[in-house]
Amino acid sequence: MGWSLARSLILGIDTSCDDTSASVVEGGVRIVSNVVSSQAEIHRRYGGIVPELASRRHIEMIWPVVEEALGAAGVRLEDLEGIAVCRGPGLIGSLLVGCSFAKAAAYTKGLPLVGVNHLEGHIFSVFLLEERPSYPFLTLIVSGGHTSLVRVDGFGSYRELGRTRDDAAGEAYDKVAKLLGLGYPGGPVIDALSGKGDPESIRFPRAFIPGTYDFSFSGLKTAVRNHIASALGADSGGPGAPSENPAVWDICASFQRAVVDVLVGKVEGAIRREGVRALTLSGGVAANRELRAAMKEMTDRLGVALYIPPAELCTDNAAMIAAAGHLHLLNGDTSGLDLSPAAYLPL
């Protein structure tokens, strides 16, 4: 197809979970606009995402969010060279909204359409940075839905070295925060309170599953639950907000240290074995300050380059979908109007 790529404008759309996002990216690398409408307020009272509420909210927000992204970029749908939409993995009802919208927009404007794997989007979020890794690199995707360590040898060439066998790291943060009465999402608040506590005060278990790069966080979550029951009692530590309780700070700091130890330890082992010279992080948990610092210390020690996007590109966003979509379109890889979302979608 007569596709001019260097300055091509791609509209990215992501509705895989609880954020409605649309973004215009130029040439696959320059973010012109990136709008994310969070649903955290809707799900907070339930302590986690309610899928039915998420898809209903996506239906309300998809057009306003796309309009805002186009408006901020100063372009119309007909000015675009293509539309990239996340087709999975994720919540099926949520994915359906983005895919249906993208197909309708591509059909009415006669634009190329491409469906993008959400994890591939996370991988290529680092291509939106000034400095990009060269292949091969390892990437750790750590979010509320995924904990996956992937070797990337080139666009389309991925090998998953390990993944979580139960909870995702972000899910563990959210569940521990719920147990402690700290609200949803749990990551940012545990990150903040950890700074006030002693990470050595409680020795929570670390699941270094031998002979694999897989992760497991459910045992840690159970250990935290048991500790809370014995140390704090049923009322999460008596009167006053839990966030004011020094015992809660210690639990947060010790839990976070256990998560970071495992993530850094497993990634270090994989870097040594695979012999790669670059590591990238993405996903909501990559916004965690202690994880970023510990990964930096480890990669500096090994002389390996570390790439971590800013927090707004670590969490779910459509710019990363546009960046990966650009690479697909470059390869002449487009989807038809029979594009359908998939809750489970391997890389």
- Binding stretches for ligand KG4 (CB under 6 A): 17, 143-145, 170, 173-174, 185-188, 191, 283-285, 287-288, 315-316
Structure tokens at 228: 């809370």
**Minimum CB–partner distance for residue 117 and Zn ion (Å):** 11
Q: Does 143 bind Zn ion (CB under 5 A)?
A: yes
187 binds, among ligand KG4, Zn ion, none (CB under 5 to 8 A by kind): ligand KG4
When CB distances are held under 5 to 8 angstroms depending on the partner's kind, the choice from Zn ion, ligand KG4, none that residue 20 binds is: none
Query: Cβ 27 to Zn ion, closest distance in Å?
Result: 23
Query: Is residue 309 helix, strand or coil?
Result: coil
Amino acid identity, position 340: S
18 contacts Zn ion (rule: CB under 5 A): no
Read off the tokens for 256: 């976070």
Helix, strand, coil: what percent of the chain each, to 5?
45, 20, 35
Angstrom distance (rounded) from CA 296 to CA 289: 11
Q: Which is nearer to ligand KG4, 191 or 250 (CB)?
A: 191
Q: Is 33 in the site for Zn ion (CB under 5 A)?
A: no
Evaluate the omega torsion of the peptide bond into residue 199 and state whether it is cis, within 30 degrees of 0: no
Closer to ligand KG4 by CB, 293 or 302: give it.
Answer: 293
**Is residue 167 within the footprint of Zn ion (CB under 5 A)?**
no
Residue 30 or 44 having the CB closest to ligand KG4: 44
Within 297-316, which residues bind Zn ion (CB under 5 A)? 316
With binding defined as CB under 5 A, does residue 214 bind Zn ion?
Answer: no
Residue 139 interacts with Zn ion (CB under 5 A): yes or no: no
185 binds, among ligand KG4, Zn ion, none (CB under 5 to 8 A by kind): ligand KG4
Contacts of 157 (CB under 8 A, 6+ apart): none
Identity of the residue, 235 or 344, whose beta carbon is nearer to ligand KG4 in the bound complex: 344
What tokens does 30 get? Answer: 């320059």
Query: What residues are paired with 139 via a beta bridge?
Result: 150, 280
Query: What is the C-alpha separation between 98 and 327, in angstroms, rounded?
Result: 20
Least separation in angstroms between residue 105's CB and Zn ion is 22
CB of 186 closer than 8 Å to CB of 169:
no
Separation of CA 302 from chain center: 26
List residues binding Zn ion (CB under 5 A).
143, 316
